[in-house]
A and B are shown apart, each in its own frame.
Chain A
Amino acid sequence: MEYILVLLRNRKAMVGVVTILLFAIIAIFAPLIAPYPPTYMGFDQVLPPSAKHLFGTTATGQDVFSQIVWGTRLTLLVGLLSGLFVTVISTVIGVVAGYLGGIVDEILMILTNVFLIIPGLPLMIILSTYMPVKGMWTIILVITVTGWAWGARMIRPQVMSLKSRDFVKASVVIGESPFHIIAADILPNVVGLIVAQFFAAAVYGVLSEAGLEFLGLGNASAISWGTVLYWADNGQAILFGLWTWLLVPGLLIALFGGALAMMNFAVDEMVNPRLKKR
């Protein structure tokens, strides 16, 4: 409760929360908001925006507005799920490496450094090209595999410094199990960092999904903001002057990503006292 109050007092966090909630509402009520089914292809092709078709129609006669409303679902889902998976893996690796130390730490950190340094986008593209099945879970998998290292490297030093504190040493002395110490003493003290990492990872997820879908490496018949952009580019939206088809999905991705980034910064400011406003 206390966390939530602190969060709401931060202006960046307010902007972030409101924007994310707004998109969540659109995603949940997509069937009520969208005037037409997103895959229905019976309209006239490449119509400019009008009252009947707010953002015009596609090269195959679909309503762009309905596609964008429905696309909110997949985009939000992939962003948040990949953010979640990335965070879980980086937390586990960061905590285990930081807490156990020694040879386990060495090995995990070398692994982390390798993944940190291999360029994300090319690896993602190559992985998704090799994958026999294209779709949401492939994209989430690829994002998770390429994205966890950064968070692990942020969390590890925090855990290491907590481990040397008196209250953790006390728990060790009275014979608590490592699981208990990690769950009760360590995790509650890195929760802020983990939350900040989650938002950073979700931004990475949203942007990567959009990029992969735009390249046609996802399932092009699924409906997300990325695939709408893919079809806009393939359907020569520019040459038809259909700016709504091209501009709106990207703007929404930017708004959603920006909202997540705002949350990341807000949480960061709360955790790191030096970044706080004076």
Chain B
Amino acid sequence: MKYVFRKVLIFLLTAWITLTINFILPRLMPGNPALAMIAKFKGRLSVQALHSLQVAFGINPDQSALTQYFHYLGQVLTGNFGVSLAYYPNTVAQEVAIHMPWTIGLVGIITIFSFIGGTMLGISSGWKRNSLGSAINVPVSIFLNAVPYFWIALVLQYVFAFALGWFPLTGAFAVSGPTGLALVGSILYHAVLPALTIFITSLGGWVLTMRNNMLNVLGEDYVTFAFAKGLPDNVIKNNYVARNALLPNFTGFAIAIGLIVSGALLTEIVFSYPGVGYLIFQAVINLDYPLMQALFFFITMAILVANLLADLAYVFLDPRVRLGAE
């Protein structure tokens, strides 16, 4: 119980710190970007949009910083993030709702595939550490882990979209506006290269961490004992080693699930894929501060919640946590 209480407390604390960072950051920056923005947009922005800028930056001269802070917290808690500047007159919440499904569909599915695939590879290369498979697996994973992932996107785009012309260069569906089954096909067709990019670049990390966990568990006494008892290799591999090696990876997987919401930033940008990552980039280049603030809030919250759920799940998964041992 103490464990659960502690995790929830840390969750609340982190959430509050994130909110506060989000509030303070724009106010810390020298040269107040908002005043420049307001001068730039004057006459072109509605009163409403100007107001959301003012709230984001706290340049309301009538209010003290503390009043602004509580006003800000209140707005966030009621889900009111103001009006987007780049996509005016849409509100920030509307824009997020438009882009979120693309990201969750693309990144979500691939994250799960890559976790399963990478874990399988990691198990086999940790179990047979001197095999040929392991000898190829490990350096390739290290290399893939160090590749800038937008570059893989550029390479795939160059080879398969430009040079070979097998797949579309950019976008999420055909501009001709297909409907029904044709639309589904078009969406899948456009998702192939971004999906491949995310899969390739995220696989290596899972392989390496799973392999290291396997090696660590293989050094435990109970594994040696299992061998000494003469248990079949497969039983030891799956029930004794892999099962326990998977446990530390669970948090990593939970965070990856939370990270889905932030999208595959650079991949989406390269393929102009209309997900959240692309939206962040649009917010940045258009200096759409209300949108940036809201996106950062959503992304962090998603990870916080995923992490909290993982921590709570450990109560069921790991008896050591349940019994209160550290």
Could you tell me if A119 and B147 are in contact, using CB atoms closer than 8 angstroms?
no
Q: How far is the CA of A113 from the CA of B281 in the complex (A)?
A: 27
Is the C-beta of B146 less than 8 angstroms from some C-beta in chain A? yes
Interface hit among B27-35, B117-125, B230-238 = B27-35
B172 smallest CB distance to A (angstroms): 19
Is the C-beta of A262 less than 8 angstroms from some C-beta in chain B? yes
Is the C-beta of B157 less than 8 angstroms from some C-beta in chain A? yes
Could you tell me if B262 and A214 are in contact, using CB atoms closer than 8 angstroms?
no
Could you tell me if B259 and A119 are in contact, using CB atoms closer than 8 angstroms?
yes
Could you tell me if B262 and A215 are in contact, using CB atoms closer than 8 angstroms?
no
Could you tell me if A254 and B259 are in contact, using CB atoms closer than 8 angstroms?
no
Task: Give the residue name and chain of the A residue nearest to B22 (CB).
Answer: A126
Interface hit among A57-65, A129-137, A177-185 = A129-137
Chain B residues closer than 8 Å to A251, beta-carbon distance: 151
Could you tell me if A119 and B300 are in contact, using CB atoms closer than 8 angstroms?
yes
Is the C-beta of A123 less than 8 angstroms from some C-beta in chain B? yes
Contact with A along B158-171 (1 / 0, CB 8 A): 10001100000100
Is the C-beta of A18 less than 8 angstroms from some C-beta in chain B? no
User: Which residues of A (231-259) have their CB < 8 Å from a CB of B?
Assistant: 233, 238-239, 241, 243, 246-247, 250-251, 253-254, 256-258
Which of these, A119, A238, A274, contacts B157 with CB under 8 Å?
A: A238
Contact with B along A252-278 (1 / 0, CB 8 A): 011011101110010000000011011
Task: Give the residue name and chain of the B residue nearest to A113 (CB).
Answer: B10
Is the C-beta of A96 less than 8 angstroms from some C-beta in chain B? no
How many A-B residue pairs have C-beta atoms within 8 angstroms? Tell me. Answer: 134
Is the C-beta of B25 less than 8 angstroms from some C-beta in chain A? yes
Which of these, B13, B154, B163, B284, contacts A110 with CB under 8 Å?
A: B13
Which of B14, B255, B295, B304 is the most central at the interface, judged by chain A CB atoms within 10 Å of its CB?
B14
Chain B residues closer than 8 Å to A214, beta-carbon distance: 148, 150, 266
Which of these, A123, A131, A278, contacts B296 with CB under 8 Å?
A: A123
Chain B residues closer than 8 Å to A275, beta-carbon distance: 212, 215-216
Is the C-beta of A102 less than 8 angstroms from some C-beta in chain B? no
Is the C-beta of A69 less than 8 angstroms from some C-beta in chain B? no
Chain B residues closer than 8 Å to A80, beta-carbon distance: none
Is the C-beta of A142 less than 8 angstroms from some C-beta in chain B? no
Could you tell me if A132 and B29 are in contact, using CB atoms closer than 8 angstroms?
yes
Which of these, A122, A126, A254, contacts B148 with CB under 8 Å?
A: A254
Contact with A along B1-43 (1 / 0, CB 8 A): 0000000001001100110010001101111010000000000
Which of these, B154, B169, B284, B287, contacts A246 with CB under 8 Å?
A: B154
Is the C-beta of B315 less than 8 angstroms from some C-beta in chain A? no
Chain A residues closer than 8 Å to B31, beta-carbon distance: 132
Could you tell me if B215 and A274 are in contact, using CB atoms closer than 8 angstroms?
yes
Chain B residues closer than 8 Å to A247, beta-carbon distance: 154-155, 158
Q: How far is the CA of A166 from the CA of B161 in the complex (A)?
A: 64
Q: Interface majority SS on B: helix, strand, loop or mixed?
A: helix
Once A110-B10, A217-B284, A238-B162 are accepted as A-B contacts, the answer to whether A122 and B216 lie under 8 Å apart by CB is no
Could you tell me if B147 and A257 are in contact, using CB atoms closer than 8 angstroms?
yes
Is the C-beta of A118 less than 8 angstroms from some C-beta in chain B? yes
Q: How far is the CA of A215 from the CA of B212 in the complex (A)?
A: 33
Could you tell me if A215 and B18 are in contact, using CB atoms closer than 8 angstroms?
no
A80 smallest CB distance to B (angstroms): 15
Chain A residues closer than 8 Å to B139, beta-carbon distance: 12, 262
B13 smallest CB distance to A (angstroms): 6
Once A129-B284, A246-B154, A274-B215 are accepted as A-B contacts, the answer to whether A113 and B14 lie under 8 Å apart by CB is yes
Is the C-beta of A114 less than 8 angstroms from some C-beta in chain B? yes
Is the C-beta of B280 less than 8 angstroms from some C-beta in chain A? yes
User: Which residues of A (72-128) have their CB < 8 Å from a CB of B?
Assistant: 110, 113-114, 117-119, 121-123, 125-127
Is the C-beta of A162 less than 8 angstroms from some C-beta in chain B? no
Chain A residues closer than 8 Å to B26, beta-carbon distance: 130
Is the C-beta of B129 less than 8 angstroms from some C-beta in chain A? yes
Name A residues whose Cβ lies closer than 8 Å to a Cβ of B.
Answer: 12, 110, 113-114, 117-119, 121-123, 125-127, 129-132, 203, 206-207, 210-211, 214-217, 229, 233, 238-239, 241, 243, 246-247, 250-251, 253-254, 256-258, 260-262, 265, 274-275, 277-278
List 9 contacting pairs A-B, 8 Å CB cutoff, sorted by A.
A122-B262, A122-B296, A132-B29, A207-B146, A211-B148, A247-B155, A254-B143, A258-B146, A261-B145
Further 18 A-B residue pairs, CB within 8 A, beyond A126-B25, A254-B151, A278-B129: A118-B18, A118-B303, A121-B262, A122-B262, A125-B265, A125-B280, A210-B150, A215-B281, A217-B284, A229-B150, A229-B151, A247-B154, A251-B151, A261-B146, A262-B142, A275-B215, A277-B129, A278-B130
